[in-house]
Structure 1
Amino acid sequence: IVVGLLIVSGLINAWILIGPTRLGSLFTSLYGLLLTAKLLLFGAMLLLAAANRFRLTPRLAAAIAAGDTATAIRSLRISLAVETGCASAILA
């Protein structure tokens, strides 16, 4: 729901700032380029979050059960660091 609200509010904001007559210049203006970069970073964050949830977390649970957590924790830390970097770049 939150991601959907972000998309809708972003589209409304772009509509207000760019307007329907200048939609063609959206990807050539500074605003459009920054918006595109932020959307790509946000997409990367969503992919990393999905990887954490469906791949890395189960791997960590299996590693804990087996008694070997070093590799799983390392993968999870790297993924979280990249996700945090994306969030920092979006906010910057």
Structure 2
Amino acid sequence: MQESSEFQELKRAFRRWTFPMTVAFLAWYLLYVVLSGWARGFMGIKLLGEINVGLVLGLLQFVSTFLIAWTYARHAERKLDPIADKLRHEVEEKTQ
């Protein structure tokens, strides 16, 4: 099974999405941490009332997390699940 071209394609499709998205999110998170530690003046700029850049960027961390989860679910449904379903059916047929 692991040697099959379908399984290899499933792994490639998974990695093509997860690797760049993981790198992008970690870079975004690291930027937030670096700005929080070394650009306090910038992070403290007030945008609206008591809402500052740091608060907005912190909240955007949550937004980006949920957005990534949503886009992964869509990616899995469209690209990964059909391949995985086909592989599952092949394995079930062989084991019966």
Asked if these proteins are the same fold (TM beyond 0.5), I'd say no
Query: Highest CA radius of gyration, 1 or 2?
Result: 2
**Structure that is richer in helix per residue:** 1
**Structure that is richer in strand per residue:** 2
Greater RCO (CA < 8 Å, at least 6 residues apart): 2
TM-score by length of 2: 0.41
